Amino acid sequence: MLHTLKLLLPAIVPSWRFFDFIAPSPRIQFALLNGADDTAQKWHEFRPRPAHISFKQMLARMLWNPHWNESLFLVSCAERLIAFPTRHSEDEILKRIMADLKYHSLATSVTTATHLQFRLLMIKRQGSALQHSVNYHSRIQPLSGQALK
Partner 1 sequence: MNFVDAIRLTEILLGFAFILQSIEHLKSFTNERYLFLPRLLLALLLIIGFHTTWVVLLLFLLSLTILYHFQGPYNGGSDRMGLLILCCLCLVHLAPSVYWQEIAFGYLAIQLVLSYFISGWVKIVNPEWRSGQALKDVFQFSAYPVSESLRGWAKSPQILFYVSWAVILFELIFPFALFSSTALAIALGIAALFHFSNACFFGLNRFFWVWISAYPALLWFQLRFFTPG
Of 66 and 145, which has the nearer Cβ to partner 1? 66
CA angle 91, 61, 22 (to 5 degrees): 60
Q: What value does the CA radius of gyration of the chain take, rounded to a whole number of Å?
A: 18
Could you say which residues in the range 15-54 bind partner 1, by CB under 8 A?
A: 15-22, 25-27, 49-53
Q: Is 129 in the site for partner 1 (CB under 8 A)?
A: no
Q: Is 11 in the site for partner 1 (CB under 8 A)?
A: yes
Q: Is 146 in the site for partner 1 (CB under 8 A)?
A: no
Q: Is 55 in the site for partner 1 (CB under 8 A)?
A: yes
Q: Is 134 in the site for partner 1 (CB under 8 A)?
A: no
User: Between the CA of residue 82 and those of 67, 77, 117, what are the distances in Å?
Assistant: 23, 9, 16
Partners of 44 in beta bridges: 30
E-only strand ranges, 55-139: 115-126, 129-137
Q: Is 62 in the site for partner 1 (CB under 8 A)?
A: yes
> For residue 37, how many other CB atoms are within 10 A of its CB?
8
Distance CA 57, CA 65 (A): 10
Q: Is 8 in the site for partner 1 (CB under 8 A)?
A: yes
Residues that bind partner 1 (CB under 8 A): 3-4, 7-8, 10-12, 14-22, 25-27, 49-53, 55, 58-59, 61-66, 68-73, 75-76, 80, 86, 88-89, 92, 95, 99, 123-125, 130
